[in-house]
Structure 1
């Protein structure tokens, strides 16, 4: 869930990066660490990423430097949001 008090920075929804052939992921994330290479602590950003860039971002998340809040797959410029997991009763 996007924090309401932070402005969204990074790529716009119609950014050129979204339509590049190698773009496969969109991620919105909150930077938690002062030493994060993707920005300053407290920034909330959206980026369109390749497979390698997304793998690096997941690594930074495991290290506690950022928290991915939203993710979507990108196929030929189309945004396909992740479906919520079904709850079994």
Structure 2
């Protein structure tokens, strides 16, 4: 199996190795990333305290299954979190996609 790794991922892994990474949550190369049912990677900033995710202001990375992703999008819509970066996970490879708010702005531009 060949795994593609972006420069962003290499830098994140290097920061994690020297314990200087500001992102809480899962490591960029964690085991969850390679599970067959993992479909998304989301990096988000918490705008409110959340018992499951952490405190306001924390920057968190999560690898998510399809059912886990929908509640994250709902939290974004309620302004409880701000998705900063997201990717589709395919066999452990990350395919970065624009955060939901950028997709919404792009759709508005196309409609107007």
8 Å CA contact 1:33, 1:66 repeated in 2: yes
**Bigger relative contact order, structure 1 or 2 (CA pairs below 8 A, ≥6 apart):** 1
Give 2:28's aligned residue. Answer: 13
- For the pair 1:67 / 2:88, whether they are aligned, the reply is no
- Report which of the two has the higher share of strand: 1
Post-superposition shift, 1:19? Answer: 0.4
Gaps of 5+ in 2: 1-20
CA, structure 1 residues 12+25, in 2 after alignment: closer, same or farther (shift >3 Å)?
same
Separation in structure 2 between the aligned mates of residue 72 and residue 35 of structure 1, nearest angstrom: 23
**1:31 and 2:14 aligned:** no
- After the TM superposition, list the runs of 4 or more consecutive aligned residues in structure 1 that deviate by more than 4 angstroms: 83-88
**Structure 2-normalised TM-score?**
0.65
The counterpart of 1:44, out of the listed 53, 56, 59, is 59
Q: Which runs of 5+ in 1 are unaligned?
A: 1-5
The answer on whether the counterparts of 1:36 and 1:66 sit within 8 Å (CA) in structure 2 is no
In structure 2, the CA distance between the partners of 1:59 and 1:15, relative to structure 1 (3 Å rule), is same
- Indicate the structure with greater helix content: 2
